[in-house]
Each structure stands twice: as C-alpha cells, then as structure tokens.
A and B are shown apart, each in its own frame.
Chain A
Amino acid sequence: MQLLERENELTVLRTAVDGAVQGQGSGVALAGDSGFGKSALIEALCRDVTGARVLRTHCDPLDTPRPLGPFRDLRRLQLAGLERGEDFLLAELCEQIYTSLAAEPTVLVVEDLHWVDAASTDVLRFLARRVESMPLALILSYRDREIDPRHSARRLLGDIASLDGLTQVALQPLSVDSVRTLLEGTGLEPERVHAITGGNPFFAAEVAKEPDLPLPNSVRDAVLAHTSEVEPNDFEVLQLIATAPDRLDDRALPLLGVDLPTLRRLDATSLLTRTDDGIVFRHELARQAVETTIPPGGGSRLHAVLLDVLEQVETRDPAVLSHHAVGARDGARATHYARLAGEDAARAGAHTESAAFFATALEHLTTDDPRERAGLLLQLSYQQYMTSRLVEAIDNVRATFPLWERAGDAAGLAAAHEAVALYEYYSARRRQAETHSGRAADIAVAPAAGLALGTARALQGYLAMMRSEIEQAREFFAEATQVAAEHDDGLLTLKSGLFRATTELVCEEDGARSNLLDHIDAARDGGWDELASTGYSQIANLDVEHGRFRAAENLLQLSIPFTIERDIPICRHWQTAVRSRLHLHQGHWNAALEDAGDVLNSEGMPLAKLWPYLVNVLVPLRRGESADLNALDEVWALADLIDEPLRRLAVLAALAEVSWMTGEPDERVREDAVDQLADLTAQPGASWGAGHLAVWLRRLDLPVGVSGELAEPFRLALEGRHADAARWWNLAGDPFAEAMSWSDSSDPDERVRGIKLLDGLGAVGTADRHRVVMRAEGFTAVPQRPRQSTRANPAGLTNRQLEVAKLVARGLSNAEIAARLYISPKTADHHVSAILAKIGLPTRRAVVVQATELGLT
C-alpha cells in the first residue's frame, strides 16, 4: 500500500530505530482508527531496518485474549515457562524478556493494543519503564477509540504519556490531495471518494482498486468487490478463515481439505497474507467484511468445523478452542476449554482474562452437578478479588452456599464461608467477616473438613488481632497451630506462627520485630508469597504506627516491589496506603497525595482507604489550601464499619486536628473522643494512637483521661516537656510533629521556632493558625508568613523524585543514578534539575551536605 502523508510519522519511527541501533532505547505508540495505515507504516519501517533484529507480534482479536499472546508468538526470544500449564512468575518472564532485548539492538513491534490482555500490559509497562536503558525501539499500535478508562491498556498509555523516552503519534485522515494521488488514472472524483471514505486510507485504496464498479457505500462493499469472481467453494474457505480471528493454523489445512491450488486462487483476491504459522486477512476490516457474509446459523457450523480440526493440532490452546466452542454453541466443550483457559490465565497473572474465561465456563455449563458449578464460581470469585471486583466476588461465593449444601460437601462450604469472610473484611465490613469466619469454623468441625477448622481459626484470630482483642486472638492461633500439627501442614503452622509474632509486635514485646521478619523469610523460602506479603503489610503498618519511620521506609522499598512482582494486589493497595501515611509523617506532602490518589483511584479495597482519605484532607489543610472537609464523614463511616480501636484513634486524632485548625467544634471530638479515650488507651498496642489523640485533645483544651501507658513522645508532651518531645520527633524523622511540639510550649521563643519550622515545611496553613492564636494572646513579635518557602525541603517531590533525591544525597552521579533506575543519563539529569528547583537548593553538593536535615538519609 502506498504511504501518503505519513513522512513525519515514519521519521519519528526511524529515529527510534536509529537510537536503538546506537544503544539508546525509546518507544513510539501509534494511535489511529482501523484502516488508518498503522500496519502499513510499520511494514514500511520494518522493510529497511539495518543493524537491529525486528520482532513483530500482535494481540489477539479473540473474545477473551490469550494471556501473554503477543509474547507466546515471539519464539525467537526463546522464553522459558510459556508452555501451557507451566507455573511461572510474571516477574521472571519480564526479566527474561529484558535480558533478551538488552542483548542486541531490537525493534519490538506489538500491534493492536486495543486487544491486549492484562498480563501483556504488565510486561509492556515493565519494558516501557526501562526502555531508555536498552538498545530497543518499542513500537506499539492501537485504536484509541477502543480503549476506555477500564481497559487494561489504559495504564500503559498513561505511562507512555508521562515517561521519558516514549512518544505518542496520532494518525490523521488523508487530505483530498492524497486521495487524488491514490486515485490517479482511475477517473474517479477525489472529492467524492474523500467524502465517502472520510479520508480513511484503507477504504480509499480499496475504492481505487475497483474503479469500474459503482462507488461502494462502505468499506465492506469495497472489500467484497474483490470477491465477485470467487467460486462458492473457495468463498467458504474465505469464510472459514474469517471465523478464525487469530489466524488459521497452517497445520489445519490438510484436515480441512484446503489444497494449494485453492490458496493460489484465493491469493488473487489480495485479501489474505501468510504469517509465521498461519493464514490471516491482510486487514481486520477485510476479515470483518467477509464475516458479515456468513448466513445466520452458518457461523456456528464453521466454528464447529474449526473446533474439531484444531483439537487435532498440537499444542492445543484452550483460549482459542473455547472461542470456537462458544461460537459453535457447544456448551460442554465451551465449559471444558474455558475452565482450562481460565486456569492458564490465572497462572500467567492475567486475572482479568481469567475471570472472563471462568464466567464463560459458567455461562455454558450444562451439567447439574452442584459441585462443579460451585467450584467454578469459587474460581471466578477469586479472580474477581484479584482484580479488585470485591462486590461481584462476594456475590459469586454466596451463590455457592446452597450448592455445597446440596452436594453435602462440608469442606467446600467451609472454604466458601472463609473466602467470603476475607472479602467482606477487605470491603471493611467487619461484622459480616466475623460472622462468616465463625460459620466456617462451625462447619469445619465435621470430621471430613480436616484442615478447614485450622484455617478458619487462623482467620478468626487475624480478625481479632486487628481489633486489638489480643487474648482471644492468641487462643485462636493456638487452636490453629494444633490443627496444623495434627495434619502436619507446614503452611498453616507458619501462618499461625507469623500471626502470633504480629500480636507480639502490636504489644511492642521485645524482639517481636525480628521474630516476625524470621517468619516472613521462612514464608518466602517456602514459596508462600501471599503469607510473606501479609507479614510485610503488618510490619510496615506497625512501624509507622510506632514512629519507626526510617525502618518503615526501608521495608516498603522492599515490600511494595514484592507485591507487584508476586501479583498480590491487596497487599499493594494496603502498603501504598501505609506509605501515604508515612509520607504524611515525613512531610512529603506531594508523595503522600500521590499514594493516596493511587489507592483511591484504583477500585481497590475499602479497607485500605482510611489513610488515603485522611491524607487528602490533612495535607491541603496543613498547606493552607482548600480541603474537602465533607470527606471526613466518609472516613468516620468507614471507621465505624472497620470497628478497630487503632483505626478509630487515628480518625479521631485527625478530626481533632481539623477542629483545631478550623476552630469549628466537632461533636465527634468533644463527645466521642473525650469519652472513649480512657477505654481506648487501655487496649493492647494503643499507646501510640491514644497518645496522638490525647495530645490533640490537650491542644483543644478538652479533658484528657488516660488509663494506660502512652508512648514516649506523647508522655513527654503531656508532662509539659515540649522541647524533649520535639527532639524525639526530630530524631524519628517527623518534622511536622517536631514543629507542633515546639509550638505546644509556653515559651514564646520556642513557639516562634515551631512556626518557622512549619513555614519551612510548607505547612503554612498550620503555621498561620499558630500565628492567629499567638496574636490573639497578645504577642506582637510573631514572624510574618514568608512569601515563599525559605527552607529547603522535599515536601513537593513525587515518589519517583524522592527515589532520585535519595540517590543524589548518597553522592551518586547522574550516570550511576541512570544505571540504577534503568533510565538514560539525560533523563536522570532532568530529574535532578527538577528536584533541585523543588527542594530549593542550588547544587547536588548542597543536597549531600544537607541530606540529614532533608530527611533523605
């Protein structure tokens, strides 16, 4: 096909290829409607690549795409683990692909992203983030109209828009002049053809091929004009090929009785082309046009023919077979293959597709066996949970209850109640979670249920522990341990031990943290990733709760990548929420908001949303910007649902801070907080949360009734030792609490010191509140609000910039930073300039010198 008005786009692509040949990687994403010449452009590019290998692949146009389809077709990369049914880690696959692509200059083309599966999206995002560090030209194409906000490729497109080294190119329709060029010698009127085709290059070119026919009204008519000479038998072969959207496997040709002369005759239509392992339509628009000629009812017959044939061709791909079984209206085989495809997809980490396959399997289920339906529903619900579709997951598990009962399967019923309990808890509905975990334990007493009693008890203990009911939790864990020993079950033994170690850390017992870390290591060694990740989530949360900010930071640096690598979304949500709280303590306002937004915008776990909600209110308030105070009602409702003392204390303290800032009395603070403080203080592990609330109540001149021991900095504050409290916070790395401690003092100099610290942090809202209070008390020497932040601080840095800033603080050069973060030295240089401007320091040397003050050590 002639390329018209595509010179600029071709130049962009060629520049990317030239860069790759010279070792500087980059990526280009081509956007355009069907027929706009994305493939033609890529053809033109690939024809004259020198000095780099070209790998071309595309996404599947099946109802549900094959997980990792585009990478399965890249045999030249010799990727291990992509054989059907093999267990492998997506992270390991990413590393393999990275190593392979980093080895020699490569042009990697992945077409039709609008059909991409979720697992391939993850691999492409991994490559996109590292593209500058590889000799790679990553070329992607997609129809932008077909990618809605919920599409799995959406995040990848977001990366392309924001990351360095990646550009988007949108293809435009042809002008009348170009249509005129296409029509040269045909005698057709360019203006009319342009109007009919809307400047769609494919459509216009098809029209030009048949100038003697009446002008077609649609692409379909233009395509079908090529088939007017085709014999009926041959035409049926065309329809058969159109029924196999991925490709018609060459090895199926003998079984279908399609001989070489037939293929030669069909070649004359110019509609078909050969790929590495099959026959495809040259263009999807052509395939769709031929597909529309299949008479009603004829489609299912063609699908059935293909299904029978493809079952005899190794390696059988259940994703493709389920597509044809559904098309053939063959319920039994649709269920059979969709289930296999669902299990494959789950293994590949493609949970969105996995859920779609299980839903297909259920939709076509023909047997009355309640166990089979219940099993599929449970599998579906787990995949929905993995993709944060909790409401549907809960509905689907609930639907299994009567089925297990009918099947008389106690173990299945117990497992279902346990699954619902966990999903309800993640949905922040504690009461339902407790009810179902109790039901699971009651049912599991039946002798056949075996281990189920132990796992139910472990879950009950976990719920009790989160609610600070430590004694009860320990009893549950003891029983779980006993069941684990009876059945000699390593996972349950370790799980009970890990949870018990967590209770020790909640109660701040000596050696608890290292004991818990030992359990996590054992879980990792045993391959129990989810348990290890749960352990990390607990430590990170308690580190922040207990003021171990640097320890929390180091841990999260390790644990968040682990959740991504091991595909444990619940823990990623939770830990990102914990990190937003950590940033709030460290005065990293922008990074806190970034994490909070990440959690709130991904349809995640309501349970994880508490801190992000609070961060979204407190950060703007402290900065003196407008804050959405109505969100506090939502947080309050959420805290009620979660119903855990530590969570409630945190929310009450935030409400108290808001009340202090706005001067608006809040019943929840004046009544609930004051009344409940003594009780809450007495809870195990509440010495920090209660201390935090107590200090804010004191600032509001409300009664502070404390019955238990408070953590050190709060004890110091309540004893009036504000300077000591301030020093404590300074050492811990919480500059906001440090400044507030100075301001709590009765000494005007110390109060002014607090105000200046707050100004320097960019917490001018809080500083202004102090100014108002001091002036009202008759002080005249209150420092003015500065025009701009006078003290260097990292409050404005994003998470990525914080990462770079820490490396600068450690004295690394741009080249070293680039190597560590898989970016080009030029990008590292951009980051460093932006960071210096935001922090407000002239040189990187100054960052190194002030690393401690900046909290970047």
Chain B
Amino acid sequence: MKRFIIEREIENAGDLTADQLADIAQTSNEAVASLGVPYTWVNSYVAGDKIYCVHEAEDAETILEHARRGGFPANKVTEVANEFGPHSAGARVS
C-alpha cells in the first residue's frame, strides 16, 4: 500500500457544517467499501477552499476510482515519498 495526498477543490469548504462533513464521510466510506481492493482513508483536513486527504491504496488509479464513486473532485493526487516530524531529528543514520 502506498500513501497519497489528495487535493480536492471545493468552494467554501471551510464553511461545511459537522452534519455535512458526516454525510461526506458516509459517502466516502461507502465508496471505500465498494472498491473490493485494499484501501484506507487515513484522515482529511479542511482548509479554505480545499480539502486535503491522506489515503492509502495500491496506486493513484485506485485513488481516482474512489473519488469517482464518491462523486468527489480529485484535482491533484501525489504519492507521499516520506514522512518525518520532530522525532526525526534523533533518527540520523550517518
């Protein structure tokens, strides 16, 4: 499984209510369940006119298939090359 960042352009996404986000989450879960291949929705972040999602799948095509089935935009799909954080400072290898 690879990890992907998905940028979804949705006008006024920041104004979405908790109920609306619940509906979107349900649609997304149903789309995940319908794929019939390994797929994990990790998390999503609403910011301005965009929603940034972190998903795991075999390839970018499967990410797009999930978006199609959910009726979501997927304006940019980028594979995550690496992850690091404050803890990474102590993880030098050389």
Which residues of A are interface residues toward B (Cβ below 8 A)? 250-251, 253-254, 257-263, 274, 277, 313
Contacts and interface: CB of A to CB of B under 8 A. Distances in A.
B79 interface: no
Residue of B31, B36, B62 with most partner-chain A CB within 10 A? B36
Interface stretch (B12-20, B42-50, B65-73, B84-92): B65-73
Nearest to A258: B34
A250 B69 contact: yes
Given A254-B30, A254-B31, A260 B36 contact: yes
Interface of A, helix, strand, loop or mixed by DSSP: helix
Nearest to B62: A260
10 contacts: A251-B69, A253-B34, A253-B69, A254-B69, A257-B34, A259-B36, A260-B35, A260-B36, A261-B36, A262-B36
A250 B68 contact: yes
A259 B35 contact: yes
Contacts of B65: 260, 263
Interface of B, helix, strand, loop or mixed by DSSP: helix
B80 interface: no
A288 to B, nearest CB: 25
Interface string B3-40: 00000000000000000000000000011011111000
Contacts of A263: 65
Contacts of B34: 253-254, 257-259
A254 B29 CA distance: 10
B70 A261 contact: no
A263 B36 CA distance: 11
Contacts of A258: 34
A254 B68 CA distance: 11
Interface residues of B, number: 13
Contacts of B35: 259-260
Given A260-B62, A260-B65, A254 B36 contact: no
B4 to A, nearest CB: 16
Contacts of A274: 68
Nearest to B34: A254
A257 B35 CA distance: 9
Given A260-B62, A260-B65, A251 B36 contact: no
A263 B35 CA distance: 10
A253 B69 CA distance: 7
A259 B36 CA distance: 5
A694 to B, nearest CB: 72
A62 to B, nearest CB: 21
A274 B69 CA distance: 12
Contact of A251 (B33, B37, B62, B70): B70
Interface in B56-77: 62, 65, 68-71
Nearest to A249: B71
B37 A250 contact: no
A250 B62 contact: no
B10 to A, nearest CB: 14
Given A250-B69, A251-B70, A253-B69, A261 B31 contact: no
Contacts of A254: 30-31, 33-34, 69
Given A254-B30, A254-B31, A259 B37 contact: yes
A277 B73 CA distance: 11
Contacts of B70: 251
Contacts of B37: 259-261
A431 to B, nearest CB: 59
A251 B72 CA distance: 10
A801 B71 CA distance: 51
A274 B37 CA distance: 19
Given A251-B70, A254-B31, A261-B36, 11 more contacts: A250-B69, A250-B71, A251-B68, A251-B69, A253-B68, A253-B69, A257-B34, A260-B35, A260-B36, A260-B65, A313-B71
Contacts of B62: 260
B67 to A, nearest CB: 9
A353 to B, nearest CB: 26
Nearest to B65: A260
Contacts of B36: 259-262
A492 B31 CA distance: 55
A277 B33 CA distance: 20
Contacts of A250: 68-69, 71
Contacts of A261: 36-37
A260 B32 CA distance: 10
A254 B30 CA distance: 7
A443 to B, nearest CB: 51
Contacts of A260: 35-37, 62, 65
A274 B68 CA distance: 10
A260 B65 CA distance: 8
A257 B30 CA distance: 11
Contacts of A262: 36
Contacts of B69: 250-251, 253-254
Nearest to B29: A254
B85 to A, nearest CB: 33
A254 B69 CA distance: 7
Contacts of B33: 254
Nearest to B57: A260
